């Protein structure tokens, strides 16, 4: 069971989202703003395309030799005093983390924003043990107050207006219904300060991990990640295996790409690099499961990320640096927002990752939820061929549908057969013309015609008219 997975309900969720004009307005406004800033930041960097290519190459190289770099990373990280645990899937990961939290005495937990902890349903798992992990990124904290998952990778509450947030605070915290943005931020700051002071455990994600030094990097603007990783006695960093780069110097390109691509900033306000625990803060002793020091990565079985590594096209999905740019330019995301995608990753990268990480049967609608216009690929700082992966997954979704008559795959096979010779092509079209009056009431034509006029076949095709013209 994957926590919070509702991608099967994409049709219903997206229709509901289309009816929410306030949400569509909020997303449109926010993404336009970010796109504008990003455009300006990119325009000031003549070597942008070169940086993209370098970033893609670094990621592709690392993924092609992932085991090598993973083992190197673990060896160096352990030498620096980090304790590394391997998890083979979400359940495994949450069990390891809840185990570590139990050892530490289950004391107050603060969390930095992290997509991978959303992915494994960590908060849910901790809450099931009666714990109360507190999100400390402002947007993420708002989402936690609302009892909702984030709806955007970088801006978790992007779909909410300020008025809605003020109302949420009023309901949950008793503040004024019409509080200003400054007042709302001040309230959050006051509450979160106390949470930081009390916390004994800090949980974060990882933006990049460096194999040659065993270090990892976290980027942020609010300063909450610094506090989460330094105030509590224990810091747990959760990382997907795809976060690696080989060398420290590789970070240069990503430090320039990610902030510009994500928010249009030249640099985030804070960059924290961790190489082993801070002096005087000894690592927690290793206990129990999770593989031995320097041990082999967990078996590929059940491990969805590892399964992707074997295929070159699919593997490219793991190049993602979670900048959110593909969401901001996606015309589908703009209409339906993040929650309609039915899991933690929305937009084009969600349509690519969810079917692969959760299984195609759980998300058959997602690969087809794209007009394949390519704005996402154009915007992606690591040049993932998102439409290409979507096409590939679309076929898998069609096959998973069983290729039933009228299904995608069945249709394509037949269509190709008819298109293969001009004679068959002409038959097919004659048939289509005869069937048109009936056909427009059926299946795909009906869905087209519900809100749009259906183009009628011409009385005489071009080829017929051309014959006469040349006579």
The answer for residues whose C-beta is within 8 angstroms of residue 76's C-beta and 6 or more apart is 211, 212, 213, 214
Which segment (17-25, 217-225, 307-315, 319-327) binds ligand SF4 by CB under 6 A? 319-327
Structural contact between residues 152 and 349, judged by C-beta atoms closer than 8 angstroms: no
Site for ligand SF4 in 137-196 (CB under 6 A): 153
Structural contact between residues 425 and 419, judged by C-beta atoms closer than 8 angstroms: yes
Residue 322 is a binding residue for ligand SF4 (CB under 6 A): yes
Convert 305-329 to b/e letters by CB count within 10 Å (16 or more is b).
Answer: bbebbeeeebbbbbbbbbbbbbbbb
**One residue of 368, 401, 439, 440 binding another protein per CB under 8 A:** 368
Give 301 or 462: the residue with its C-beta nearer to another protein.
462
Give 286 or 426: the residue with its C-beta nearer to another protein.
426
Give 184 or 386: the residue with its C-beta nearer to ligand SF4.
386
**One residue of 2, 74, 375, 384 binding another protein per CB under 8 A:** 375
421 binds, options another protein, ligand SF4, none, Cβ within 5 to 8 A by partner type? another protein
325 binds, options ligand SF4, another protein, none, Cβ within 5 to 8 A by partner type? ligand SF4
Report the nearest approach of ligand SF4 to the CB of residue 324 (Å). 5
**One residue of 419, 431, 434, 442 binding another protein per CB under 8 A:** 419
Report the nearest approach of another protein to the CB of residue 2 (Å). 23
Report the nearest approach of another protein to the CB of residue 165 (Å). 25
DSSP state of 357: H
Q: How far apart are CA 357 and CA 303, in angstroms?
A: 9
Q: How far apart are CA 225 and CA 218, in angstroms?
A: 8
The distance of Cα 350 from the centroid of its chain, to the nearest Å, equals: 5
Give me the sign of the Cα torsion angle 18, 386, 123, 134. negative
Give 267 or 458: the residue with its C-beta nearer to another protein.
458
Residue 371 is a binding residue for another protein (CB under 8 A): yes
Q: How far apart are CA 428 and CA 419, in angstroms?
A: 8
Residue 447 is a binding residue for another protein (CB under 8 A): yes
Report the nearest approach of another protein to the CB of residue 13 (Å). 11
148 binds, options ligand SF4, another protein, none, Cβ within 5 to 8 A by partner type? none
Residue 332 is a binding residue for ligand SF4 (CB under 6 A): no
Residue 398 is a binding residue for another protein (CB under 8 A): yes
Q: How far apart are CA 203 and CA 227, in angstroms?
A: 11
Q: What would the two tokens of residue 202 be?
A: 């800090």
The SS3 call for residue 255 is helix
Residue 34 is a binding residue for ligand SF4 (CB under 6 A): no
Site for another protein in 316-335 (CB under 8 A): 331-332, 335
Report the nearest approach of ligand SF4 to the CB of residue 394 (Å). 17
Binding mask 249-288 for another protein (x = CB under 8 A): ----------------------------------------
Residue 379 is a binding residue for ligand SF4 (CB under 6 A): yes
The answer for residues whose C-beta is within 8 angstroms of residue 386's C-beta and 6 or more apart is 326, 348, 349, 352, 376, 377, 380
Q: How far apart are CA 247 and CA 69, in angstroms?
A: 10
Give 57 or 170: the residue with its C-beta nearer to ligand SF4.
57
* Closest alpha carbon to 73 in 237, 215, 205: 215
Residue 355 is a binding residue for ligand SF4 (CB under 6 A): no
C-alpha distances in angstroms, 460 versus 67, 236, 271, 423, 464?
61, 70, 66, 16, 6
Structural contact between residues 67 and 295, judged by C-beta atoms closer than 8 angstroms: no
Report the nearest approach of another protein to the CB of residue 438 (Å). 17
Report the nearest approach of another protein to the CB of residue 458 (Å). 5
Residue 96 is a binding residue for ligand SF4 (CB under 6 A): no
Give 185 or 371: the residue with its C-beta nearer to another protein.
371
The SS3 call for residue 216 is strand
The answer for residues whose C-beta is within 8 angstroms of residue 53's C-beta and 6 or more apart is 383
Q: How far apart are CA 424 and CA 118, in angstroms?
A: 52
Residue 41 is a binding residue for ligand SF4 (CB under 6 A): no
Q: How far apart are CA 338 and CA 221, in angstroms?
A: 22
How big is the chain, counted in residues?
471
For the sheet containing 234-237, what is the strand order?
A: 134-135, 109-111, 201-204, 234-237
Binding site for another protein (CB under 8 A): 11, 14-15, 18, 331-332, 335-336, 365, 367-375, 377-378, 391-396, 398, 408-409, 412-413, 415-416, 419-422, 425, 429, 432, 444-445, 447-448, 450-458, 460-463, 465-466, 469-470
Binding site for ligand SF4 (CB under 6 A): 153, 320-326, 349, 379-382, 384
């Amino acid at each position: 069971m994957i926590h919070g997975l509702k991608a099967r309900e994409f049709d219903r969720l997206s229709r509901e989202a289309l009816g929410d004009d306030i949400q569509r307005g909020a997303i449109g406004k926010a993404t336009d703003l970010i796109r504008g800033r990003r455009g300006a930041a990119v325009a000031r960097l003549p070597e942008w395309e070169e940086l993209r290519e370098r970033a893609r190459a670094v990621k592709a190289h690392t993924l092609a030799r992932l085991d090598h770099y993973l083992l190197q990373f673990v060896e160096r990280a352990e030498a620096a005093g980090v304790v590394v645990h391997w998890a083979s899937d979400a359940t495994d990961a949450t069990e390891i983390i809840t185990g570590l939290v139990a050892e530490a005495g289950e004391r107050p937990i603060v969390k930095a924003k992290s997509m991978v902890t959303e992915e494994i349903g960590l908060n849910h798992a901790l809450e099931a043990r009666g714990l109360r992990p507190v999100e400390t990124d402002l947007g993420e904290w708002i989402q936690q107050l609302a009892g909702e998952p984030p709806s955007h990778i970088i801006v978790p509450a992007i779909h909410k207006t300020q008025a809605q947030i003020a109302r949420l605070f009023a309901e949950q915290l008793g503040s004024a219904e019409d509080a200003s943005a400054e007042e709302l931020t001040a309230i959050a700051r006051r509450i979160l300060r106390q949470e930081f002071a009390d916390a004994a455990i800090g949980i974060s994600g990882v933006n990049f991990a460096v194999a040659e030094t065993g270090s990892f990097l976290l980027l942020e603007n609010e300063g909450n990640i610094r506090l989460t990783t330094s105030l509590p006695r224990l810091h747990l960093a959760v990382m997907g295996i795809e976060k690696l780069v080989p060398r420290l110097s590789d970070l240069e390109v990503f430090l320039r790409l990610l902030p510009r691509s994500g928010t249009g900033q030249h640099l985030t306000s804070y960059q924290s690099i961790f190489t082993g625990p801070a002096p005087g803060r000894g690592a927690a002793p290793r206990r129990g499961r999770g593989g031995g020091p320097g041990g082999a990565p967990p078996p590929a079985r059940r491990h969805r990320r590892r399964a992707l590594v074997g295929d070159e096209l699919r593997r490219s999905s793991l190049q993602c640096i979670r900048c959110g740019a593909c969401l901001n330019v996606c015309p589908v995301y703009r209409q339906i927002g993040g929650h309609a995608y039915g899991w933690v990753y929305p937009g084009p990268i969600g349509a690519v990752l969810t079917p692969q990480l959760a299984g195609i049967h759980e998300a058959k609608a997602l690969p087809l939820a794209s007009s394949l216009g390519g704005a996402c690929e154009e915007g992606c700082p690591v040049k993932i061929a998102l439409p290409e992966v979507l096409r590939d997954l679309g076929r898998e979704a069609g096959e998973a549908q069983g290729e039933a008559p009228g299904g995608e795959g069945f249709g394509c096979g037949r269509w190709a057969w008819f298109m293969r010779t001009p004679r068959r092509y002409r038959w097919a079209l004659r048939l289509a013309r005869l069937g048109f009056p009936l056909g427009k009431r059926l299946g795909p034509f009906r869905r087209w015609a519900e809100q749009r006029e259906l183009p009628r076949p011409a009385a005489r095709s071009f080829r017929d008219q051309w014959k006469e013209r040349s006579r």
